[in-house]
Amino acid sequence: MVQIRKTLNLHFHHFHTEGPAPYAAPEYAGAFFDQGFFVGANVRESVNAGYADYLPAHLSESQSMYRSGALPCDVAMVQVSLPDADGMVSLGTSVDCSVAALEVATLKIAVVNPRVPFAYGDLVPLSCFDHLVYDETPLITKDYVQPSETELRIGKYCAELVPDGACLQMGIGSLPNAVAAALANHRDLGLHTEMFADGALELIEKGVINGAAKTIDKGQTVASFLLGSQKVYDFVHRNPAVRMRDIQYTNDPWNIARNDRVVSINSALEIDLTGQVCADSIGTRIFSGTGGQLDFVRGAKMSKEGKAILAMASRTNKGRAKIVPTLQPGAGVVTPRADIQWVVTEYGAVNLYGKSLQERARLLMSIAHPDDREMLDREAFARFGLHWRQ
């Protein structure tokens, strides 16, 4: 039996989490220190106040940080399904880097929850755990969010870039739901993604996503973690058409590119006139995480006939421009300008691939909010000089 001595300054690592996060609260400073690969609403204030922290990493590399020892992991605590007849359990909603953590941890603890879906893919033996805890707490769900009119327009432009037989990567939220709604008349789409949510499930139920044209994992939906309604969890449970895999498999750009016609659809907080994309922070304020955006941007571009799409509204809900002359001071560049390809707003779609700085600026201005275009033109003139107006 492994003995863990009582100590302070316990570090917690995690992907996106939902629900209360008391371990990140100021009153527990010195006892717990939360370090997340993704910063959700439950830890955002603590991270930006310094009581918790952010681990910037491409999701494809999160597993290698554990496997290489770059990120120590003494104790792995994971939630698992009930075992099958062979004593194997599923990591259910959160395979991601959990397999890697279990491989290297000194102490392994499983929370066995009958509500966790038994998802095929990367399973682990129940016998590998040092301790088992039984719990029947319902899983946290995220219900389907109806898209706005602006998002529906963005979804339409995105869908026009998706050919029949494409293999999709898309996430959760009202914008991906808008894209899914616009894809309802497409045929033989596939899904190879990091997150599986309700928008994609609707397309599966309509027969639009069937995986028939996939090059690898033909006929199967492949993902690494789930977040959605109970309907999503029920669909995945013991469904041989779904494979929940290690993030090493789902997010490796070379593996992504093995499918033809990969179309990745991601979002951004802002993009500057040269094509630099910020997706994890608002200035110095950490808002979310790097995620797998660049993994899939690069994988989609390497794919035969693939496309990488960055989709966003031209302005925030508060009316602030999201296409800007320069990123806010301290903002993180998640997708470099050398990697950018398609950018979509409610005003259209432009392809920045192979375009110079001035060409990019003109293209991005054309899909910016009309009331922001004069400001952008003025800033571009100040940056590029007299030739800009010729």
As a whole number of angstroms, the distance between CA 91 and CA 112 comes to 10
Which residue of the set 194, 202, 270, 346 is catalytic?
194
Query: 270-272 and 277-278 as β-strands: parallel, antiparallel, unpaired?
Result: antiparallel
H helix runs in the chain, sequence order = 44-49, 59-68, 98-104, 149-159, 174-182, 198-205, 230-236, 247-250, 253-256, 293-302, 357-366, 373-384
As a whole number of angstroms, the distance between CA 168 and CA 222 comes to 10
Coil, helix or strand at residue 322: coil
Paired strand residues for 278:
270
Q: Which of 271, 216, 280 is nearest to 243 (CA)?
A: 216
In the annotation, is 194 catalytic? Answer: yes
As a whole number of angstroms, the distance between CA 47 and CA 390 comes to 47
Q: Which structure tokens are listed for 116?
A: 């966790």
Residues belonging to the active site: 194
